[in-house]
Amino acid sequence: MVKLTDIARKLNISPSTVSRALNQKGRISPELRRLILETADEFQYQPNEYARFLKTNQTTTIGVILPDISNIFYGKLLKGIDATARNNGFSVIFCDSDEDLANERTYYEMLKSKNVCGIVVAPAGVSDIYDNASAEDHIVFVDSAPSGSSSHPVITIDNYRAAYELTEHLVSLGRSRIYAIVGPRCETSANDRVRGYLDCLAAHGLPAEGHVFECEHDYASGVKAMQKILSLHTPDAIFTENNLLAYGALSVIRAYRLTIPSDLSIACFDASDDFGMMSVAFTTIIQPVAEFGKKAVELIVGMNHSQDSYQGPMEILMEYAFIRGQST
Amino acid sequence: MVKLTDIARKLNISPSTVSRALNQKGRISPELRRLILETADEFQYQPNEYARFLKTNQTTTIGVILPDISNIFYGKLLKGIDATARNNGFSVIFCDSDEDLANERTYYEMLKSKNVCGIVVAPAGVSDIYDNASAEDHIVFVDSAPSGSSSHPVITIDNYRAAYELTEHLVSLGRSRIYAIVGPRCETSANDRVRGYLDCLAAHGLPAEGHVFECEHDYASGVKAMQKILSLHTPDAIFTENNLLAYGALSVIRAYRLTIPSDLSIACFDASDDFGMMSVAFTTIIQPVAEFGKKAVELIVGMNHSQDSYQGPMEILMEYAFIRGQST
DNA sequence: CTGAAAGCGCTTACAG
DNA sequence: CTGAAAGCGCTTACAG
């Protein structure tokens, strides 16, 4: 590795001058400057980030914590994060919390100890992990906040409105026994979706008592919840709060030999079907997840450029799409 | 951030001693050692990796370059990498090359300049990017090698045998007009698969001339290739080299209103269906992709622990699974 | 077994 | 506009 002093020695000048030329700081005669830049180029000089950090305490590394990278939803998110980071000269340290808050906490501590210049988190659930985080930690949440009153921005969609719209759609098709399978309501996004669903039912005078089945976010939970619903009730529509819950519910619906959508409609969030490979084309809300990633990185870049702490909105709502499929 | 000298001052000893105690190097009286570790714990001391690096030139960071993290295949790979890295105390710098060799090269240079302790690469294609890489760069390829003669280990399956087996299956069902849609044959894994396919046809005395349609790896390529095949021939079976090509081909098969598997069988690699959501249950070869990631990180950890350069095999073949679906 | 000192490759006041 | 010097937080020969 060629270093600063190598190019200083070659040019018979001091390392200080080379450093200033490279960092565009302080006054430098234009010719010298040009000469230094040329030589640096010729030598293929790459500043040693570790040494630089020791003085500046600044990195160009963004930390990312996601709950499950084998879920395509988060794959698209990471893709958006990575592309935007690259365009801004940042690199990405990736952490998969595996839906586990203990892992999430460990990763967060690790990222802090590495002095990353910002952290994008899709929380695995509700926690106090970030309660003592300061504004300088440059944390941005995506999809959901880890607790009700966050002092860090959250990038999401208007979950309340989207859920209302999805439910309204079911009602407009004449469905009246609409049951919901949702993730933990202590999570902000899940709760907003439940509220939208409930308010819509109420607005139409439809029953809602005991209609919400709360569970985890995964496939198996969808299976269990759907079994319970069918054993207790005779729904004519199902609302699920994410894609995996819908897939789990569907497997039970099939086992019961119910026909979609005639016997039962099903509508959900995030069930995109990029290659037309799904056996059911879901009516679904699609979140612009790559945009989430882009926006998150842009926020962090902005936080790093500005001296002041973040002044923007704490909730950043992106546009979603309502997709009418054949499941309703 | 509390630093080494803080705990040295607190204990009235020299930083050298603290460092030795923390790193288990050199002789230290057991009591002092215990005292130091306790104090470090109490202070929640985290060594500054940047300062440490400056002396040791060693990091605990693994670089990962994948072609497309929005493909679930690579999502599972990254998940395996991340979990194993975490278990070994390593962190992961993630890079999505977006199937672009120029990006891949840039990322590789970036990772080298960060002195990562190893790099896992699923190459975006054939390149000379790693031609001058030394054994100390600790590069491990996954899925495919970037060129024929690699001096770095490759983790994959026996692609030749898997392709042969898949083709043999089609033949055993009485199919004789079996066409193949494959990625660039200059890539080792694609080429091995084509060879397995061709050798199997030859072994059964079946025609193969002009039966191989070579294209890129993506969905659109699968569409185009399938259109071409159907415009020129009347296949009774299709072999595709990955999942996206199969999905693209399927969309054309449907447009032609052909029935699977009676009119046309289709078999492919990597079309896993974790949630039973696919409209076609493919007969497919499943690679143990999370295991790939685990193995890759283990290799890198081993390389870092050993003084000698890597002595193991340059091709590491993992077990695959043959899944009989309803597409054949 | 412990400490003083040098140095890793940068940056940045401080002089000039 | 340029240079000499100090220092970021560690580690590691070298003494003792």
CA B201 to chain centre: 29
Sign of the four-CA dihedral B242, B246, B247, B252:
positive
Q: Is the CB of B14 under 7 A from strand C?
A: yes
* pLDDT tens per residue, range A185-220: 988 999 999 999 999 999 999 999 999 999 999 999
Would you call A276 and B251 a contact, using CB atoms and an 8 Å cutoff?
Answer: yes
* Closest CB from B69, B76, B277 relative to A279: B277
Q: How far, in Å, is the CA of A44 from the C1' of nucleotide C8? A: 20
Kindly state the average pLDDT of the residues A103-108. Answer: 96
Report the DSSP pairing between strands B321-323 and B283-286. Answer: antiparallel
Q: Using an 8 Å Cβ cutoff, are B227 and B54 in contact? A: no
**CA–CA distance, A200 with B237 (Å, rounded to integer):** 50
> Who wins on pLDDT, A22 or A239?
A239
Whether the Cβ atoms of residue A108 and residue A102 lie closer than 8 Å to each other: no
Q: Which residues of B touch A82 (CB under 8 A)?
A: 69, 94-96
C-alpha distance from residue B30 to each of A222, B11, B23, B33 (Å): 55, 15, 14, 5
3-state SS record for chain A: CCCHHHHHHHHCCCHHHHHHHHHCCCCCCHHHHHHHHHHHHHCCCCCCHHHHHHHHCCCCEEEEEECCCCCHHHHHHHHHHHHHHHHCCCEEEEEECCCCHHHHHHHHHHHHHCCCCEEEECCCCCCCCCCCCCHHHCEEEECCCCCCCCCCCEEEECHHHHHHHHHHHHHHCCCCCEEEEECCCCCHHHHHHHHHHHHHHHHCCCCCCCCEEECCCCHHHHHHHHHHHHHHCCCCEEEECCHHHHHHHHHHHHHCCCCCCCCCEEEEECCCCCCCCECCCCEEEECCHHHHHHHHHHHHHHHHHCCCCCCCCCEEEECCEEECCCCC
In tens, the pLDDT along B54-72 reads 999 889 999 999 999 999 9
**B309-327, pLDDT tens digit by residue?**
888 999 999 999 999 999 9
Q: Tell me, what's the pLDDT at B25?
A: 76
Is the per-residue pLDDT at A149 higher than 80? no
Residues, chain A: 328
Give the pLDDT confidence score for residue A190 in this predicted structure.
93
**Is pLDDT at A162 greater than 90 in this prediction?**
yes
Angle at A284 between CA A281 and CA A286, to 5 degrees: 115
A56 contact to strand D (CB, 7 A limit): no
CA–CA dist B254, B249 (Å, integer):
9
Q: How far is A60 from chain B (nearest CA, A)?
A: 11
- Under the banding of pLDDT at 50, 70 and 90, the label for residue A102 is very high
Q: Which residue places its CA closest to the C1' of nucleotide C2?
A: B17
Dump pLDDT digits (tens) for A244-287. Answer: 999 999 999 999 999 999 999 999 999 999 898 999 999 999 99
Is a pLDDT exceeding 80 seen at residue A150? no
B70/A70 Cβ within 8 A: no
Judged by CB atoms closer than 8 Å, whether chains meet at B79 and A95 is answered as no
B92 touches chain A (CB under 8 A): yes
Selection from B153, B105, B125, B113 nearest residue B295 by Cα: B153
Tokens of residue A246, six digits: 């819908």
Answer whether any strand C atom is within 7 A of the Cβ of B51: yes
- Distance between CA atoms of residues B178 and B181, nearest Å: 10
Percent of chain A predicted with pLDDT > 90: 78
Ordered domains of chain B (ranges, CATH):
1-40 (1.10.260.40), 55-157+291-319 (3.40.50.2300), 159-286 (3.40.50.2300)
What's the pLDDT score for residue B183? Answer: 93
For residue A90, give the chain B residue with the closest CA.
Answer: B110
Residue B37 CB lies within 7 Å of the nucleic strand C? no
CA A237 – CA A178 distance, rounded (Å): 5
Instruction: Give the pLDDT of residue A83.
Output: 97
Q: How confident is the model at residue A132 (pLDDT cuts 50, 70, 90)?
A: confident
Max Cα-Cα span within chain B: 86
Task: Give the nucleotide at minimum CA-to-C1' distance from B8.
Answer: C3
Upper half-sphere CA count for residue B134 (Cβ side, 13 Å): 5
> Which residue, chain included where needed, has tokens 């083709």?
B167
Per-chain mean pLDDT for chain A: 93
**Per-residue pLDDT at A306:** 83
Q: Using CA atoms, how far apart are residues A309 and B162, in angstroms rounded to an integer?
A: 56
CA of B185 to C1' of D5 (A): 60
pLDDT confidence of residue B78? 98
Minimal CA–CA distance to A69: which of A295, A319, A289?
A289
- Of all nucleotides, the one whose C1′ comes closest to residue A26's CA is D1
Bases of chain C within 7 A of a CB of the protein? 1-5, 7-13
Distance A16 CA to D13 C1' (A): 29
Q: Read off the DSSP letter of residue B130.
A: T
Task: Answer whether residue A148 shows pLDDT above 90.
Answer: no
Planar angle of CA A23, A27, A30, nearest 5 degrees: 85
Q: How far is B78 from chain A (nearest CA, A)?
A: 7
Question: Is residue B148 scored above 80 in pLDDT?
Answer: no
In sequence order, the β-bridge partners of residue B104 are none
Question: Which residue does chain B place closest to A113, by CA atoms?
Answer: B46
Residues of B with Cβ-Cβ distance to A279 under 8 angstroms: 277-279
Contact at 8 Å (CB) between A82 and B94?
Answer: yes
Partner B contacted by A70 (CB < 8 A): yes
Chain A hits for B79, CB-CB cut-off 8 Å, are 68-70, 96, 98
- Shortest distance between the Cα of B209 and any Cα of chain A, in A, equals 30
Please check the confidence at residue A26 and state whether its pLDDT lies above 80: no
Q: Amino acid letter at A35?
A: L
Which residue gives the smallest C-alpha to C1' distance to C3? Answer: B14
The answer to whether the C-beta of A29 is closer than 7 A to strand D is yes
Write the CA distances from B231 to A311, B175, B224, B253, B327, integer angstroms. 60, 19, 11, 12, 21
For chains A and B, count residue pairs whose Cβ atoms are closer than 8 Å: 124
Question: Under a CB-based contact definition with an 8 Å cutoff, are residues B84 and B298 in contact?
Answer: yes
Question: Using the CB atom, is residue A303 less than 7 Å from strand C?
Answer: no
Lowest mean per-residue pLDDT among A38-52, A160-174, A233-247: A38-52
Where do we find the tokens 């469905």? Answer: A175
Q: How sure is the predictor about A147, in pLDDT bands with cuts at 50, 70 and 90?
A: confident
A278 → closest Cβ in B49, B250, B278:
B278
Q: What pLDDT, on the 0 to 100 scale, is given for residue A155?
A: 97
Cα–Cα distance measured from residue B265 to residue B259, given in angstroms and rounded to the nearest whole number = 9
Query: How far off is chain A from B275, nearest CA to CA, in Å?
Result: 7
- What is the pLDDT at residue A151? 86
How far is the CA of A238 from the CAs of A192, A285, B201, B278, in angstroms? 17, 14, 49, 20
The answer to whether B15 CB is within 7 Å of strand D is: yes
Task: Please determine, for residue B30, whether its predicted confidence score (pLDDT) is greater than 90.
Answer: no
Beta strand residue intervals within B67-144, DSSP E: 91-96, 118-121, 139-142
What pLDDT shows up at residue B289?
96
What is the average per-residue pLDDT within B69-94? 96
Tokens of A46: 């790459």
Residues 13-42 of A with CB under 7 A from strand C: 15-16, 19-20, 22-23, 25
- Both tokens of A103, joined, read 């892992």
**Which residue in chain A is spatially nearest to B57 when comparing CA positions?**
A50
Contact A219 B275 (CB under 8 A): yes
**Sheet arrangement for strand B321-323:** B212-214, B178-182, B237-240, B265-269, B283-286, B321-323
CA A266 – CA A250 distance, rounded (Å):
8
Instruction: Identify whether B30 is preceded by a cis peptide bond (ω within 30 of 0).
Output: no
Q: Among partner residues B54, B114, B248, which is closest to A51 by beta-carbon distance?
A: B54
Mean pLDDT of B152-159: 96
Q: Which of A53, A54, A71, A82 to mutate to test the interface with B (most CBs of B within 10 A)?
A: A82
Residue nearest to nucleotide D11 (CA to C1'): B55
The average confidence (pLDDT) of chain B is: 93
Q: Which residues of A touch B218 (CB under 8 A)?
A: none
Q: Is the CB of residue A36 less than 8 Å from the CB of residue A22? A: yes
Question: Which pair of structure tokens corresponds to residue B250?
Answer: 């399927």
Widest distance between CA atoms in chain A: 86
**Which chain B residues are closer than 8 Å to A68 by Cβ?**
79
Chain A 223-282, CB below 8 Å of chain B: which residues? 244, 247-248, 250-251, 275-280
Region B144-170: what's the mean pLDDT?
A: 92
**What was the pLDDT predicted at B28?**
83
Q: Which residue in the set B82, B114, B115 is minimally distant from A94, CB to CB?
A: B82
